Chains A and B, each alone.
Chain A
Amino acid sequence: MNLSRRQLLYLLPAAAAAWEFVLAGTPEAAPTYHSAEHWWGMLLDVTKCIGCGGCVRACALENDVPDGYFRTWVERYHVDDFHIESPVVDSPGGAKEGFPQSTLTGGKNFFVPKFCNHCVDSPCTQVCPVGATFHTADGVVLVDQNYCVGCRYCIQACPYGCRYFHPTKNVADKCTLCYHRIVKGLTTACCESCPTGARQLADLKDPKDPIHTFLKTHSVQVLKPHLATGAKNFYNGLDGSVR
């Protein structure tokens, strides 16, 4: 292709702008955010969770989560002695109003917050027939509510039970890692409202993120590692009884 100098003069700035557009990912909403520079995960510290349910309420308010459905929830575990294969677990109303006093005494008791693990090899995106649920370049799994046909295959495929069918929009829905907040430099609503720092958003690509030190100095686990989903929620102090 033969380009005159004048043509090149017009073409180059247009090409540069287009390239910026491609890199930006979400140019309209966050012009300075470059998704390729981030890789999102979350650190959950079971030793700090007090089961207040603040995260559940905050998520519902931030994301208009319908009543009775949960983008995040907290589970309470009661483990008797060495019986780690049969814990007693409850999550009344997803712990949206916290927990009533435990009636079971003795044993080991703790809270576990749960939500979408934004898996790297997510089984949910694998099964979506139309491409309505997908990975972003920065490691967040999202649902395109205007494209989802509502077949609910993704809800069946998620091993963690973090997806639900929106009762009025008739599409699949789940935690978005508050994508609309994190691209603007804010943290997620659940992390913002967690009073003990049990939940902390982590940018695994940022060398200055405290998670890197934390991972070096603590024993962490992901949920259901045998399913090899590439989950990015790292749990500190996770007991073997947790399902």
Chain B
Amino acid sequence: MVPLRDISHLLRMAAVFLVGLILFVVLRSAFLPKSFGKYGHYRGDALAEITGHPIAYAGHQTCEGCHSDVADSKAHGVHAQVNCESCHGPLDKHGNDPSSLRPEKLDVAHLCVRCHSENIAKPQGFPQVDAKGHSGGQLCESCHQPHSPEFTEGAKK
């Protein structure tokens, strides 16, 4: 049998490892985020942080709450499925406090063209025109009311 003093150095090394392990356990309990593991292998608090992100787009239901007249005129036209903020941009600030943010007048020349300029990749039935040839330089809204854009003979804004 090997005398103790001849393996004492190994026991000291084992003690070093044990101290290291204990140190690790202590460090872990100090640094581990409290909410980790609550719902899965992630920090539970992350969910609240993510859902707390501010909202930019109000959603068409909010717009229609006040602007029911526009909603009505849109509802029977071809733009019925086009939500307000598709064209008007994010307006949650306006929805919460209308006077704090007045939505800007839209740049119709570029706005309509973005969807309706002709492109062979667009679906066949989708209304698309060559902007320059179509109106001879006139703005889209000269003939098309954006909320209800079907062109009828003699239709004006």
Contacts and interface: CB of A to CB of B under 8 A. Distances in A.
A/B: CB atoms within 8 Å of each other = yes
Given A47-B123, A50-B115, A61-B56, A146 B82 contact: no
Contact of A134 (B40, B54, B120): B40
B145 interface: no
Nearest to A104: B120
Contacts of A101: 117-119
A42 interface: no
Give the interface centre of B36, B42, B82 by most chain A CB atoms within 10 Å. B42
B121 A61 contact: no
Nearest to B52: A29
Contact of B83 (A52, A133, A193): A193
A181 B54 CA distance: 9
Given A62-B56, A193-B83, A132 B42 contact: yes
Q: Say whether chain B's binding surface is mostly helix, strand, loop, or mixed.
A: loop
A196 B39 contact: no
A30 B55 CA distance: 13
Interface in B92-144: 114-115, 117-123, 126, 128
Report, as a range, how many residues of chain B touch the other chain. 35 or more
B82 A192 contact: no
Give the interface centre of A58, A61, A144, A184 by most chain B CB atoms within 10 Å. A144
Contact of A28 (B39, B41, B52, B119): B52
A58 to B, nearest CB: 6
A111 B115 CA distance: 13
B90 A109 contact: no
Given A193-B86, A194-B86, A102 B55 contact: no
13 contacts: A49-B123, A50-B119, A50-B128, A62-B90, A109-B120, A131-B40, A131-B43, A133-B42, A136-B39, A142-B46, A144-B43, A145-B49, A180-B54
Interface of B: 33, 36, 39-43, 46-57, 59-60, 79, 81-83, 85-86, 89-90, 114-115, 117-123, 126, 128
